[in-house]
């Protein structure tokens, strides 16, 4: 029963992450949603490892952690640069990039 | 007993991640993310992965959440009311897709697959042997990636007047 409930938790996390990415305007909430998506993937990998008594699931989770940390550091740096150059931290501000490219 | 604990964890995750959807201030969002991550750490302990549970607390709550806090402090966004609810015109197709997915999930769980396995704990020793045994080159590649992130962040912040 525990494994099924853990899969349900993973589905909840995935739905919350997708909803955050689709519905919120703020870029920092979008990044929080991305972290939730990574965590959902980690829960599924761990459930697989626990189901088949293998250490591979935990190894995969450790690599996912490293990858999400690397991606987050880079995107937060990009977010600060967006705030500097375009003067805002919402999704709408990024539309200015397209206008500048059109000119 | 364990199922009750995991049910409680599912409730905590549901509430704190739903709170992420409605809070205004980014700082409140970071706090709610912290609660979710701590609940996930307990879930990892239940799933027999103490090393990953410790890494979840140390790496996610300790490092990634602090990174978020730094970003929130540096951004200094004034809290303003959200102008309008963001229901776009193309909102109904995703709703239909979500309903279909829910139907698939319900169909899956009405006939539960035989997952009744005993969870055994897999400790840090086995994980370490795996990381530096068969997965040695992957570990080295991740180390190289994390090193490259430093260079990438420097490149993002380079200005025209003076190079970083």
Instruction: Output the CATH code of domain B1-77+88-120.
Output: 1.20.120.1200
What ranges make up the beta strands (E) of chain A? none
Write out chain A residues lying below 8 Å of B52, CB-based: 42, 46, 58, 61-62
B9 with A9: Cβ contact below 8 A: yes
pLDDT digits (tens, 9 = 90+) for A46-88: 999 888 888 899 999 999 999 999 999 999 988 888 888 888 7
pLDDT of residue B137: 92
Tens-of-pLDDT digits for all 164 residues of chain B? 777 888 888 888 888 888 888 888 888 889 899 989 999 998 998 888 889 999 999 999 999 999 999 988 888 776 665 555 555 556 677 677 778 778 777 776 776 555 556 778 888 899 899 889 899 999 999 999 999 999 998 888 776 655 44
B68 with A73: Cβ contact below 8 A: no
**Considering only residues 33 to 92 of chain A, which have any Cβ-Cβ distance to chain B shorter than 8 Å?**
33, 35-36, 39, 42-43, 46-47, 49-51, 53-59, 61-63, 65-70, 72-74, 76-81, 83, 89
pLDDT digits (tens, 9 = 90+) for A9-53: 999 999 999 999 988 888 889 999 999 999 999 999 999 988 888
Domain ranges, ordered by start, for chain A: 3-102
Residues B14-51 as b or e (16 or more Cβ within 10 Å = b): bebbebbeeeeebeebbbbbbbbbbbbbbbbbbbbbbb
Q: What is the ipTM of this complex?
A: 0.88
Write out chain B residues lying below 8 Å of A17, CB-based: 17
> For residues B9 and B56, is the Cβ–Cβ distance under 8 A?
no
B126 with A29: Cβ contact below 8 A: no
Instruction: Output the CATH code of domain A3-102.
Output: 1.10.287.3510
Using a CB–CB cutoff of 8 Å, tell me whether B1 touches chain A: no
Q: pTM for this one?
A: 0.81
pLDDT digits (tens, 9 = 90+) for A86-103: 887 888 888 877 776 776
Using a CB–CB cutoff of 8 Å, tell me whether A102 touches chain B: no
Tell me how crowded residue A69 is: count the other CB atoms within 10 A of its CB. Answer: 21
Domain ranges, ordered by start, for chain B: 1-77+88-120, 122-164
> For residues A57 and B121, is the Cβ–Cβ distance under 8 A?
no
pLDDT of residue A103: 66
> For residues A70 and B146, is the Cβ–Cβ distance under 8 A?
yes
Of B14, B18, B86, the CB nearest to A25: B86
Round to whole Å and give the CA distance between B96 and B102: 10
Size of interface A-B (CB pairs under 8 A): 180
């Amino acid at each position: 029963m525990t494994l099924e409930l853990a899969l349900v938790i993973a589905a909840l996390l995935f739905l919350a992450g997708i909803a955050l990415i689709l519905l919120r305007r703020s870029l920092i909430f979008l990044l929080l949603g991305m972290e939730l998506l990574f965590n959902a993937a980690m829960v599924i990998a761990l459930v697989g490892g626990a189901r088949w008594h293998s250490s591979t699931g935990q190894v995969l989770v450790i690599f996912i952690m490293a990858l999400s940390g690397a991606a987050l550091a880079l995107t937060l740096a990009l977010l600060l640069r967006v705030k500097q150059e375009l003067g805002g931290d919402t999704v709408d501000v990024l539309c200015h990039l397209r206008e500048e490219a059109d000119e | 007993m364990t199922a009750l604990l995991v049910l409680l964890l599912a409730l905590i995750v549901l509430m704190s991640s739903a709170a992420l959807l409605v809070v205004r201030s980014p700082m409140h969002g970071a706090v709610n993310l912290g609660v979710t991550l701590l609940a996930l750490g307990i879930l990892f302990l239940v799933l027999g992965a103490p090393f990953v549970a410790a890494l979840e607390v140390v790496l996610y709550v300790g490092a990634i959440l602090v990174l978020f806090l730094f970003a929130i402090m540096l951004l200094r966004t004034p809290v303003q009311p959200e102008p309008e609810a963001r229901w776009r015109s193309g909102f109904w197709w995703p709703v239909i897709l979500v309903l279909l997915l829910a139907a698939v999930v319900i169909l899956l769980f009405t006939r539960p697959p035989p997952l009744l396995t005993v969870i055994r704990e897999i400790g840090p020793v086995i994980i370490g042997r795996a990381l530096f045994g068969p997965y040695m080159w992957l570990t080295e590649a991740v180390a190289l990636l994390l090193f490259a992130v430093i260079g990438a962040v420097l490149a993002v912040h380079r200005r025209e007047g003076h190079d970083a």
